[in-house]
Chains A and B, each alone.
Chain A
Amino acid sequence: MGGVNYVSRRRAALQPEESDEESWEELVPLPPSCPLAGTAAWSWGGREAPGAMLGKGAGGSGAKPAKPSFVSYVSPEEIHKKEPIEKEVNLHLLPGELLLCEANTVLKCVQEDGSNRGACGKLICTNFKIAFLGDESASDDNEPEFKNKIIGENDITLHCIDHIYGVYDEKKKSLSGQLKKYPEKLIIYCKDLRVFHFCLRYTKEEEVKRIVSGIVHHSQTPKLLKRLFLFSYATAAPTNTDIQNQTVMFDAIKDWREELERTKGNMKYKVLSANEAYKVSEKLPLYFVVPMSLSEESILQYQGRGIPIWCWSCHNGASLLKMSAFPKEQEDNTSQMHKIFLDGIYKTINKPPYEVLKTDDLSSSLPSLQDIQAAYIRFKQLFLIDNSTDFWDTDVKWFSLLESTNWLEIVRRCLKKAIEVAEYLEGQNTNVLLVEENASDLCCVISSLVQVMMDSHYRTKFGFQSLIQKEWVMGGHCFLDRCNHLRQNDKEEAPVFLLFLDCVWQLVQQYPPAFEFTETYLTVLSDSLYIPIFSTFFFNSQHQKDTNMSGEGHRAQSSHFRFLSVWDWSVQFESKAQVLLNNPLYVEKPKLDKSQRKTTRFKHQRQLSLPLTQTKTSPKRGFFREETDHFIKNILGKRISKLINSSDELHNNFTEFYDSWHCKPVDFHGLLLPHIDGPGIKVWAQRYLRWIPEAQLLGGGTVATATKILDMIEEVQSLQKKMDEKHSLTVPQGREALPMLRNSARLSSLFPFALLQRHSLKPVLPTSTWKDLEDEDDLAKRDDEFVDLSEVI
């Protein structure tokens, strides 16, 4: 019973501090009655599993009618006896984490091989997470190799909760706001696609009320920014010493200067410090880069709107720029002024050496944020699966279901757009200006995708992290609003960053050796979006972070609290687990000294550029250039949207570029173009299928080959060590068997996430395989060969 005492003691100790939290119990009046008593059946979630039984950890409370039920092989009496075991649980609270409410004798239901297992334990809610404390995981001494130190297997951060449903008489209802009736079962859908089923039938009525209303309140109601756990944690956690990390944060002027130098953009572009103290704009970072010729006045004129801001420069000097567009104005006067302003800007930057500029208005050439959000809502629904029946029912029409969500099509369009931009930069030596309302959503997706595809530096781990800092964090992507972390406005929610990660995943799966990180890295990065101890994804802009860090009137010690960065992976993972984030297939780009660089650069360029650019008759290309030039001059200042999008020329250039690149061997350190045909775009199985037991392959999947490679690397290393030993001391040794560190045979394909979720070795069998052959009906009725057997006899 020690565990319980520990928890309650902790809770008592924390009581005084809790006054800081708004008193939710007052806000949520408890209903007069709880309609839970009476029913005896244990069937949960409407599953039809006649063989359903409780697992070893089953337990129940004596408060309920002690009647054995038709779905349970374990009678409540037996459960009662086991009760003491269930309480052997430990609650680990983070600094600043407060226990808010708890409920005992909650059953966590797990489906396995068509039957239900229940683990009995305690459900708690803190200001950081919901956690289920069962005895099951504790008794499992087989410690997973890949364990998150912050979020346990049964922990759900409040920000990770997507939807909460209550089950009332077998019916699922969404829970939000004030509850009049309390459900017998709680289903929690998480943003990382886990689905939890908690049965409350054996929980004391009072506790049900407290836990359900507590969870609903703390996860569903709008929050104030300052109430984010991020602040409690930063205040309470010991001040972290700066961890040496090679990720460039882009919060210092030198970071930008170095980036300009690295990409050789410093000839044409300059870093501005005009936004120090956010004098220009609260959307822009303290430092940003603009074309040399732009004057400071023009930048100040419209708070940074209408200004081309530099993202990246290609080896041939062509640059990628972005610009916040002016909002559509009703007033003629204002829009006239904007037009004149833009005219001026284009004229300034259109002077040599900024010869040609291709403008792409992403808000008209890509799907809207609403489309993206709608597609994702449909898409994720396919993976939030309640039970096996659900799984197989959706399996029959899987491909058309996938297609109807439109998510993969959006991924495809983003990749295609990125190839188009790359074609302008690489193939046509043309600057590209991406335009969007705030230049902080699709601009981030496309500009960072283009950089991942064109600059192998961004395919290293630190490079990729620096890119996210540069384009997303400093680029002012509204993480807080897009993730709807504060639950203040659903309309602003859109999984833009996730869309980017999905696009990168497509590249990772198509070109495994090109990236220093693994798909597991991308998956845990996507999970980190919902962990409110890192500041990286919890602000809308640098300005917002800075102003909230100086904490007016917060606690006394707040003056120098520090936020953690998500890039410090040691906060979440032990170094043993971090190994899984590094790609064993990746081979570093050979480093060359200065003297060699010139020649290799040339070679590199030749590898990148296409036979077309060499072999194609120059007059045609020249003609096209001129024409474009002319065209641009004519319409400058008119907010060019789709410059030549409709022309066949664009299409031809694109296909030529795409086809000829794909005809050549891949240089994993060079330009990388994704396959964007139908079969090329796939579902990010690791992220989306990882919690679904039916989708697991025991001993299969790509993890099987990855493990073999890791094993081989270890073997080679140990051989090398042996070699070295032999050289130093010449003690003759017999050949020993080499250590095999892993047993790839039984790892699940969903490793490292759903380690041994399915325990049984029995195959999973589709339950609904009915299919309609429609037009082929007449064929289907035919016999294989038309021989009348009755005659034969």
Chain B
Amino acid sequence: MASSSPKYNSNSLESSSIKRIPKDGTKWEQNEEIPRLPGETSITDKEVIYVCPFNGAVKGRLYVTNYRLYLRSVELDPVVILDVPLGVIARIEKMGGASSRGENSYGLDITCKDMRNLRFALKQEGHSRRDIFEILTKYAFPQSHNLPFFAFVNEEKFAENGWMVYNPMPEYRRQGLPNEQWRVTFINEHYGLCDTYPSLLVVPYNATDDDLKKVSAFRSRNRIPVLSWIHPENQAVVMRSSQPLVGMSGKRNKDDERYLDIIRDANGQISKLTIYDARPSVNAVANKATGGGYEGDDAYPNAELFFLDIHNIHVMRESLKKLKDIVYPNVEESHWLSSLESTHWLEHIKLVLTGAIQVADKVSSGKSSVLVHCSDGWDRTAQLTSLAMLMLDSYYRTIVGFEVLVQKEWISFGHKFASRIGHGDKNHADADRSPIFLQFIDCVWQMSKQFPTAFEFNEQFLITILDHLYSCRFGTFLYNCESVREKEKVTERTLSLWSLINSEKAKHTNPFYTKELNRALYPVASMRHLELWVNYYIRWNPRIRQQQPNPVEQRYMELLALRDDYMRRLEELQITNNSKISNSSASSASPSQMMSHVQTHF
């Protein structure tokens, strides 16, 4: 049956990996062999048949805890293991009825948020399916059952405290703020100005808190234009906001108009302020019907507006759904390229990147400051500002820098993670769900693929982030905005994902990283360079999976180790030489031995 032999276990969650364990390790009876996090408790276990799309039916035992679903095959050679955090589950369906005759046709079909489905066949007798269905439903969707997220019962300990990674004040200070043109305001300290914004905001020095209040009345959900990033040399800034409430009647707001002019003025340039509306123009126009809109020429003569044609959350959700159809369980055999094209997934990636390049280029040219918004300024806007910042500021290309970027542009500025991901919520068809953050990470991956030496983090880092975007093991991505997180005491009661990552940095580090300061990094947003992220989207397929670890990386690591070894030995030699002990012959043997296999071809 499961004819393929084990080998890869490098996926961050080690899910669905097939491991070979020593034959004598048969004492898997109870709990002993099932990984457990501190705080994780066992709920139930059942005999099931795992209907693996790649290896066929696998008989095994399914364990359910308050954190994960874990399956171990009965057969030990090879052992098939599934290890799936319950947070990944989007939907649990019963398949087959009492009259089902076909083999393995009665059981559960579990749709996951990470591009796979799990099927378990169960015995028809004894309500086993009903029991497991109810338990899974309860623990996979705790929010729908008045249960806490696992993050709140997780008792893990880490060497690093990820909650310390981001603190807005030091980050703004790193950017040289506040300065003569920009000030820090605490007007939103108790989320009185805008309940989805962070408490600390950077605004033009020449705008009073009173001005801000007036402007907030004219911006959707009070998300006023605030500073995201300032160019260290030319002082041009990246601002973010939501759409102006222009409406059908074409309302104007003097305060908003004056406020944008202050922003334009702040970098000492006489040119217009550039506004990038992330939406297609049609949608921006259509938004007027519901009270929104965009900055018109008449009202804002000192601004120039461009539409970036990025589609809405529903289009992105459908696109990912189509992508899953062509890669799971089987990769579309014939017409792969046109199938891929018909999902539009990479086309959307291209548009997002193109928009971000435009924002970055405008700021970097120093000719004008930029304001980015979409409708509410928490989806496309977050994508654009964070990607532009990644292109402009090499700090964000480090591990900690990227954590700061996510923490700042996404988490603190109220990207609605809870709604977009649907953490612990059973309503799988919720129209609020959308893979906006995944799309952003994909864009980052595309950039790291195009510039393999420019990022301190590796692919694994990005995959780990995505895995814990769903897992609910950490508090990092829970809830929609800072005000709710504060109320739920997330930083006190849960752990940060960055604790995990920063405690094992080596695993997430790109060995090829070359530190480069102040260099704008522009990817090429052409289909000729954009690729499907196979190691993420098709990682469950053993046939497609690429070589892990990457041989190029491995070779480089070997060389690095060799170099370090030489350095160490040279230093040792230095010491021995200095202390005039000349019999160092013994230590010299080993490096030259090691050299023999590296010396081959240059």
- Determine if A677 and B543 form an interchain contact, defined as CB atoms under 8 angstroms apart: yes
Q: Which 5 A-B pairs have the closest CB atoms?
A: A678-B336, A790-B291, A789-B291, A763-B522, A398-B527
Provide the residues of chain B in CB contact with A623, threshold 8 Å.
none
A745 in contact with B514 (CB, 8 Å) = yes
Q: Which residues in A have their C-beta under 8 angstroms from that of B286?
A: 781, 783
Asked if B598 and A663 make an inter-chain contact with CB atoms under 8 angstroms apart, the answer reads no
- Contact for A695 among B283, B350, B528, CB less than 8 A: B528
Contacts of B292 in A (CB 8 A): 789
Q: Which residues of A contact B376 (CB under 8 A)?
A: 784-785
Would you give 16 A-B contacts (Cβ < 8 Å), ordered by A? A396-B347, A679-B336, A695-B524, A695-B526, A700-B450, A713-B602, A723-B569, A762-B522, A764-B524, A766-B525, A773-B315, A780-B314, A783-B287, A784-B379, A786-B290, A789-B245
In the complex, the answer to whether B602 meets A584 with C-beta atoms within 8 Å is yes
Contact A662 B315 (CB under 8 A): no
The residue from B3, B337, B532, B544 contacting A402, defined by CB atoms under 8 A apart: B337
Q: How far is the CB of A785 from chain B (nearest CB, A)?
A: 7
Interface contact A588-B600, CB-CB below 8 Å: yes
Verify if A181 is at the interface (C-beta below 8 Å from B): no
Query: Which residues of A sit under 8 angstroms from B338, Cβ to Cβ?
Result: 399-400, 403
Binds A, one of B103-111, B168-176, B261-269, B354-362: B354-362
Q: How far is the CB of B376 from chain A (nearest CB, A)?
A: 6
CA distance A675 to B542 in the complex (A): 12
Closest to B222 in A: A792
Given contacts A399-B340, A678-B331, A763-B361, contact A663 B7 (CB under 8 A): yes
Chain B residue at minimum C-beta to C-beta distance from A679:
B534
How far does the alpha carbon of A781 sit from the alpha carbon of B311 in the complex, in Å?
9
Residues on B facing A (Cβ under 8 Å)? 3-5, 7, 217, 220, 245, 247-248, 280, 282-283, 286-287, 290-292, 309, 311-315, 318-319, 331-333, 335-341, 344, 346-347, 350-351, 354, 357-358, 360-361, 374-376, 379, 432, 450-454, 512, 514, 516, 519-529, 532, 534, 538, 542-544, 547, 551-552, 555-556, 559-560, 562-563, 566-567, 569-571, 573-574, 577-578, 582, 584-585, 588, 591-592, 595, 597-598, 600-602
8 Å CB contacts to B: which residues of A744-793? 744-745, 749, 761-766, 769, 771, 773, 776, 779-793
| B residues near A516, Cβ cutoff 8 Å | 601
A513 on the B face (CB < 8 A): yes
Distance of A660 Cα from B6 Cα, bound (Å)? 10
Stretch at the interface among A157-165, A246-254, A530-538, A726-734: A726-734
Smallest Cβ distance from B568 to chain A, in angstroms?
10
What is the CA–CA distance of A587 and B538 in the complex, to the nearest angstrom? 30
Question: Is A365 among interface residues, defined by CB-CB distance under 8 A?
Answer: no
Asked whether, in the complex, the Cβ of B588 is within 8 Å of the Cβ of A723, the reply is yes
Q: Does B3 lie within 8 Å of A716, measured CB to CB?
A: no
Chain B residues with CB below 8 A from A726, complex form: 570, 573, 577
Q: When the two chains form their complex, are residues B245 and A720 in contact, meaning their CB atoms are under 8 A apart?
A: no
| CB <8 Å contact, B577 and A395 | no
Interface check A255, CB cutoff 8 A: no
**B552 proximity list for chain A (CB < 8 A):** 512-513, 585, 705, 709
Neighbour of A678 across the interface among B4, B337, B570, CB < 8 A = B337
Which residues 503-518 of A sit at the B interface, judged by CB distance below 8 A?
511-513, 516
- In the complex, A696 Cα to B569 Cα: how many Å? 42
A435 to chain B, nearest CB (A): 27
Cα-based distance from A727 to B570 in the complex (angstroms):
10
B526 and A666 contact, CB distance less than 8 A: no
Is A664's CB within 8 Å of the partner chain B?
Answer: yes
8 Å CB contact of A611 from B3, B312, B559, B600: B3
A98 to B7, CA, bound (A): 62
Say whether A769 contacts B309, CB under 8 Å. Answer: yes
Closest-CB distance, B282 to chain A (whole angstroms): 7
If A399-B338, A662-B543 touch, does A583 touch B601 (CB 8 Å cutoff)? yes
Q: Which of A396, A683, A705, A764 contacts B556 (CB 8 A)?
A: A705
Q: What CA separation (Å) do A145 and B308 show in the bound complex?
A: 40
Q: Is there an interface contact between B341 and A685, defined as CB atoms closer than 8 Å? A: no
Q: Within the complex, what minimum Cβ distance (angstroms) separates A470 from chain B?
A: 23
How far, in Å, is A779 (CB) from chain B's closest CB? 4
**A787 to B512 Cα, complex, angstroms:** 47
Check A780–B312 contact: CB distance below 8 A: yes
Which residues on the B side are within 8 Å of A696 (C-beta)? Answer: 524
Closest Cβ–Cβ distance, residue A719 to chain B (whole Å)? 4
CA–CA, A586 to B519, complex, Å?
32
Q: Which of B344, B514, B601 contacts A771 (CB 8 A)?
A: B344
- If A732-B577, A783-B286 touch, whether A708 touches B525 (CB-CB below 8 Å) is no
Give the residue among A391, A726, A727 with the most B Cβ atoms within 10 A.
Answer: A726
Closest to A513 in B: B551
